[in-house]
C-alpha cells in the first residue's frame, strides 16, 4: 500500500474537477473557504483548469451563422449563454444545443473527438425518413463547424 496517498487531497482534486463551474455558488463558497485541516494550500493546477475555458459570445458572427443553419435545415434551436466553449489547454471546443421540434433532441459537437464529435440525446423518437434526413444535415453542419474550428482554434491555444 502506498503510504504517500492522501485521501483528502485526492477527494478535493476529484471534487474540483467534477464540480468545475457547475457547482452552486453556495457550495463553491463553502468549499473554497473551508479550512484545510492538514494546512495544505489548494492545488493551483486544479484552480487554473477550472478557469481555463473561453465562452464564445452567443452574438459571435460565426456562431450566429451556425445557429441559423441548424434552425433552417434541421429545426428550431435553443441554446444557452454557454452554448460554445473553447478549452485551450485541450485544443477542444464544445457546442451544445437543443432542437426543440425534434422531441427536444439535445446534441453536442466536440471538436477534439476521435469518434466524430456528434452526440445526441432524446426521449423516444420514431426514426422516420424525415428525422434521418435532419440528422444527416446536422452531421453536415457539424463537419462545417469542425472545419471552421480547425482554422480558428489556434487563436485560443496560443493564449495559454
pLDDT tier for residue 28 given thresholds of 50, 70 and 90: very low
Indicate whether 122 pLDDT > 80.
yes
Contact indicator for 114, 147 with CB cutoff of 8 Å: no
**Count of Cβ atoms closer than 10 Å to residue 143 Cβ:** 14
User: What SS3 class is residue 103?
Assistant: coil
CA dist list (Å): 105 to 59, 64, 71, 121, 160: 23, 20, 13, 6, 34
What mean pLDDT, rounded, does the chain reach?
Answer: 79
Mean pLDDT of the 38-62 span = 66
Q: Show the cell assigned to 131.
A: 428525422
Q: What percent of the chain has pLDDT over 90?
A: 58
Confidence of residue 145 (pLDDT cuts 50, 70, 90): very high
Q: Are the C-beta atoms of residues 87 and 52 closer than 8 Å to each other?
A: yes
pLDDT, average across residues 92-119: 94
Cβ(139)–Cβ(145) below 8 Å: no
Q: What is the pLDDT of residue 159?
A: 57
List, in order, residues 6 or more apart from 141 with CB less than 8 Å away.
66, 69, 70, 73, 74
The region of weakest confidence among 22-31, 58-67, 119-128 is 22-31
pTM (2 d.p.): 0.66
pLDDT at 73 over 70: yes
Among 128, 140, 52, 66, CA closest to 97 = 66
| pLDDT at residue 79 greater than cutoff 80 | yes
Under DSSP, the state recorded for 94 is E
Least confident of 55-59, 117-121, 152-156: 152-156
pLDDT at 52: 86
Amino acid at each position: 500500500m502506498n503510504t504517500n496517498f492522501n485521501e483528502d487531497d485526492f477527494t478535493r482534486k476529484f471534487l474540483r474537477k467534477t464540480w468545475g463551474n457547475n457547482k452552486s455558488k453556495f457550495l463553491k463558497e463553502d468549499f473554497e473557504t473551508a479550512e484545510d485541516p492538514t494546512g495544505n494550500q489548494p492545488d493551483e493546477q486544479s484552480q487554473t483548469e477550472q478557469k481555463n475555458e473561453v465562452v464564445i459570445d452567443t452574438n459571435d458572427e460565426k456562431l450566429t451563422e451556425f445557429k441559423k443553419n441548424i434552425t433552417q435545415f434541421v429545426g428550431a434551436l435553443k441554446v444557452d449563454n454557454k452554448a460554445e466553449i473553447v478549452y485551450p489547454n485541450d485544443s477542444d471546443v464544445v457546442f451544445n444545443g437543443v432542437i426543440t421540434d425534434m422531441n427536444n433532441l439535445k446534441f453536442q459537437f466536440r471538436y477534439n473527438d476521435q469518434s466524430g464529435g456528434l452526440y445526441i440525446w432524446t426521449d423516444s423518437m420514431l426514426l422516420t425518413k424525415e428525422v434521418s434526413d435532419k440528422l444527416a444535415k446536422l452531421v453536415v453542419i457539424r463537419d462545417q463547424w469542425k472545419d471552421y474550428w480547425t482554422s480558428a482554434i489556434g487563436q485560443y491555444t496560443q493564449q495559454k
